Amino acid sequence: NAGVTQTPKFQVLKTGQSMTLQCAQDMNHEYMSWYRQDPGMGLRLIHYSVGAGITDQGEVPNGYNVSRSTTEDFPLRLLSAAPSQTSVYFCASSYRSPGLAGSYEQYFGPGTRLTVT
Amino acid sequence: KQEVTQIPAALSVPEGENLVLNCSFTDSAIYNLQWFRQDPGKGLTSLLLIQSSQREQTSGRLNASLDKSSGRSTLYIAASQPGDSATYLCAVKTRDSGAGSYQLTFGKGTKLSVIP
């Protein structure tokens, strides 16, 4: 059981380049989400998904796209990288219990450190 | 909009001391509250999860309490050790009106240093 995995661990991009950050979980969690962590700002939600085929925006979605074609994978796409997207990106997952919605623990991946020059 | 505040932002204590980290939140309609530990350059490790119906949770030297009505939680660390040095984050889960799901709102963390 690998938990939540993220690739790559580190990435440097030039302004305007695009790329995809990968996230996968093997716990059969319905709920997956992406956060960015910046000094002095804490963790902020970018996008989330409550199940395959369903995604929604979080607090800071601009410049990012997501899709959820399978339960296991939730990639985050940067369409045209900007220096303001330099950050550490974390993927997280949890169960989504219909009876006690939101009761379950969140599990986080190890993060991707992205630098945009 | 839910806001989570953690005080103090940084704390330095000598080894062996008991300490308390504080977390407050503005919207008391939460599902649960979770405490995390983050080591430098690493991801988040879950320490304790308190459901909205619970008052406290314990794990080893850690004890977390929740007072939902006053919007407060504390993380108590007994007999601190240098290995406890890390940033501690609290996060509350509240209903998201958008997709009928929920969102996790984080505080900015307390950076703890335990001096040998």
The alpha-carbon gap from A116 to the nearest alpha carbon of chain B, in Å, equals 18
On average, the pLDDT of chain B sits at: 92
If one counts every other C-beta atom within 10 angstroms of the C-beta of residue B55, the result is: 11
Q: How many Cα atoms are found within 13 Å in the side-chain-facing hemisphere of A26?
A: 5
The yes-or-no verdict on residue B101 having pLDDT over 90 is no
User: Which of residues 67 through 106 in chain A touch B, CB cutoff 8 A?
Assistant: 90, 92, 96, 100-103, 105-106
Mean pLDDT over residues A104-113, rounded?
89
Mean pLDDT over residues A20-36, rounded?
94
The alpha-carbon gap from A65 to the nearest alpha carbon of chain B, in Å, equals 17
Chosen for mutation from A7, A32, A43, A49 (greatest number of chain B CBs closer than 10 Å) is: A43
The yes-or-no verdict on residue B5 having pLDDT over 60 is yes
Compare all CA atoms of chain A with the CA of B87 and give the residue at the minimum distance: A42
Q: What is the pLDDT of residue B98?
A: 58
Report, in angstroms and rounded to the nearest whole number, the Rg of chain A calculated over CA atoms.
Answer: 14
Q: Percent of chain A having pLDDT more than 70?
A: 92
CA distance B71 to B7: 14
Q: How far is CA B89 from CA A53, A58, A98, in A?
A: 31, 19, 27
Interface touch A110/B104, C-beta < 8 Å: no
Report, in angstroms and rounded to the nearest whole number, the Rg of chain B calculated over CA atoms.
Answer: 14
Mean pLDDT over residues A51-75, rounded?
94
Q: What is the pLDDT of residue A95?
A: 81
Mean pLDDT over residues B97-109, rounded?
77
Mean pLDDT over residues B16-35, rounded?
94
Q: What is the pLDDT of residue B92?
A: 93
CA distance B28 to B41: 32
Instruction: Name the residue among B43, B93, B95 with its Cβ closest to that of A111.
Output: B43
Q: What is the pLDDT of residue A6?
A: 97
- pLDDT, tens digit, for every residue of B87-99? 999 999 887 665 5
